[in-house]
Structures are given as structure tokens and as C-alpha cells.
Amino acid sequence: MDYSQILDIAVQYQLDIYGGFHPVEDDMVPAGTKTLIMLGPKEPGFWQFITSQDEFRNGLPNPMDQWSKKVIDLIGKNTGGKPYYPFGGPPYHPFLTWALKTGRSWQSPVQFLVHDTAGLLVSYRGALAYKDHITLPKTPEQSPCVTCSDKPCISACPVGVLTPDHYDADGCRTYIGSEEGHDCMTLGCNVRRICPVSQRYQRNPKQSEFHQIAFLNNAPKI
């Protein structure tokens, strides 16, 4: 099974390969893994596709996670990869660390990951670990932030809860849950969507709203 074959199967489910890497000893991957590939939404069209699936139409809880597990389990079965997910823990798998290892995601000026094609709207639905060495495409030489002269993300938060030095998640929840935060709630985080790469990604705002609702409703219990 090679990279293009895995990609061909993934795109049948409106998923894309968001990067991969060949692990070394300290990369916190499952034993025996020679290639780890990470999957995320393929745009445009992901939201229209996934909301037509049974998990959404039947009103199941956590429909995106349930759909992701069903589909990526199937992709893994058909390609010889063992699936792993950023949800379902604890324990949780180190998806942020894995993402940085792919050479296609970097830490942005506002701390969140930025991806070479998804920008600050990057989200990983799962990963597949392979015991074979799979040849991977060449990765970008540098983060898109390096050539982003304006860096609009730094000052984009309307209430200053997300900056290069500070992220107040509770303050963010308070704001998006208010009348003043309507745009950040229904269109998605202004910091994430102002990124020039994000703007080329063509994510449906309804998907961003879905994630914002989940973020608002899943505040840590004290």
C-alpha cells in the first residue's frame, strides 16, 4: 500500500492526508510504527458530506467523532493501518506532537497550530499507524507564517483573549456565548478565520459553528 492508494481511499470519505512522518525512538508512537499518517477534512465539501451521513441524520451524540471512528477504522482495515484518535481518552494520544512532526503544521504566532493548507482551521479526525515504511511527499520548507508580513491573527481577537502570550479559554467561552460574540460563534473564531491560509481553505461556516458549540458546551468541570 503506497501513499497515493491511501489518499485515494481517504478522499472517498471527504478526508485528506494532512501529513505524515517516519517515527524515531522518542516520538511517542505505537511500537513497531514505521509510518504515521494524519487525516483531516477535505475542503471544500466536507460539511455537506458529513451532515448527510447517518450519525448526523439520526441525531446521534458526538456525531463527528462517531463518524470519524467508523470511517477511519474502515480506511485502516482496507490499507493495513491501525487507527488512533484525538478523542475518546484519557489517555489521549499526542496529536499536537505528531502534527508538528509531519512538517506540515507549525506553532502559529497565537500558539495554535497552523497547517500548510488548512491554516488555523486545522483539525485532525484521526491517524493511521503503519508497520511499513511508506514514501511521503516532500513537505514545505517553512511555515506560512514566515512569509505572512501582516500576521493579522495577532490582533484579531475582539476581546483579546487569544494573543501570542495569552489564551483565556474561559474568557473565550464567555464571549462567544454572549450577544456580542455572535459572529465568533456562528462564523467561527475570528483569529482562526482571518489567517490568509484559512481563507483559502473554504471551510463551511456551519462546521466552524459546530465546533464552537462543542467548545462552549464542554468547559472543564470544577
Given pLDDT bands bounded at 50, 70 and 90, which one contains residue 219?
low
- Mean pLDDT for the chain overall: 95
Q: Which of 54-63, 97-106, 171-180 has the lowest mean pLDDT?
A: 54-63
pLDDT of residue 221: 46
For the segment 197-220, the average pLDDT, to the nearest whole number, is 91
For the cut 70, the answer to whether the pLDDT of residue 24 exceeds it is: yes
Per residue in 139-193, pLDDT (tens digit) is 999 999 999 999 999 999 999 999 999 899 999 999 999 999 999 999 999 999 9
pLDDT of residue 218: 79
SS (H, E, C) the chain: CCHHHHHHHHHCCCEEEEEEECCCCCCCCCCCCCEEEEEEECCCCHHHHHCCCHHHHCCCCCHHHHHHHHHHHHHHHHHCCEEECCCCCCCCCCHHHHHHHCCCEEECCCCCEEECCCECCCCCCEEEEECCCCCCCCCCCCCHHHHCCCCHHHHCCCCCCEECCEECHHHHHHHHCCCCCHHHHHCCCHHHHHCHHHHHHCCCHHHHHHHHHHHHHCCCCC
pLDDT of residue 89: 79
For the cut 60, the answer to whether the pLDDT of residue 196 exceeds it is: yes
